[in-house]
Amino acid sequence: MSGVEPRALTPLPQPWSASRPKPARGGGLPAHCSPSPCGRGTGGGGARSDPDPEAGFTLLEILVVIAIIGLLIGLVAPAVLRQFAGAKLSIAHQSIARIGSVLDLYKLDTGSYPTTEQGLAALVQNPGDVTGWNGPYVQSGRVPVDPWDRPFVYRDPSDRAGHAYDLCSQGPNPNGGAGGEICNP
């Protein structure tokens, strides 16, 4: 090894120089060639490897998509709205049952249910003349309202036979239309 001189490394030629055009992305073809004329491809106008930056959707395609979306909304929206109305009825029943349990706790503490005059406000604030009140009985600190954001109707004593009190929601139609009152069982 003592008599061998190191050789200088010479750079390898670049496959694409300034005199030759660069290939198109992914295809290995010069940019000026389409797949068919340069001898690579099937000649049937196959898919190009790089998308045309000017390509887009035609107005007709966009209108067809909008029409399909409109039809889907027209078919689905009524079913969703029916489910939403059914959910509010279910929430009303659950709220009445929950408030009924709170009224039972109130009775355990005070010995009686709130009067009609005291109403459900007695669950939030001591009516003053009640002994044993240990509230507020409602966490929110507000008088509960039904899912339609209207106050519950509370009556003590009940107008219905076999019930100690009435706790009702006027339902979706407060004017006595379809649906009617939803009351404690």
Dist CA 57 CA 59 (whole Å): 7
Residue 140 pLDDT: 86
Residue 67 pLDDT: 96
Does residue 63 fall inside a structural domain? Answer: yes
Dist CA 32 CA 24 (whole Å): 8
Number of domains in the chain: 1
Residue 102 pLDDT: 92
Residue 101 pLDDT: 93
pLDDT along the chain (185 residues), means of 10: 66 59 54 53 54 81 95 90 85 92 93 92 88 88 90 90 91 69 87
Residue 49 pLDDT: 62
C-alpha pair distances (Å), 93 with each of 19, 75, 88, 133, 173: 82, 29, 9, 26, 15
The residue segments making up the domain with residue 166 are 59-183
Task: Note the pTM of the prediction, 2 decimals.
Answer: 0.57
Q: What is the CATH number of the domain that holds 110?
A: 3.30.700.10
Does residue 125 fall inside a structural domain? Answer: yes
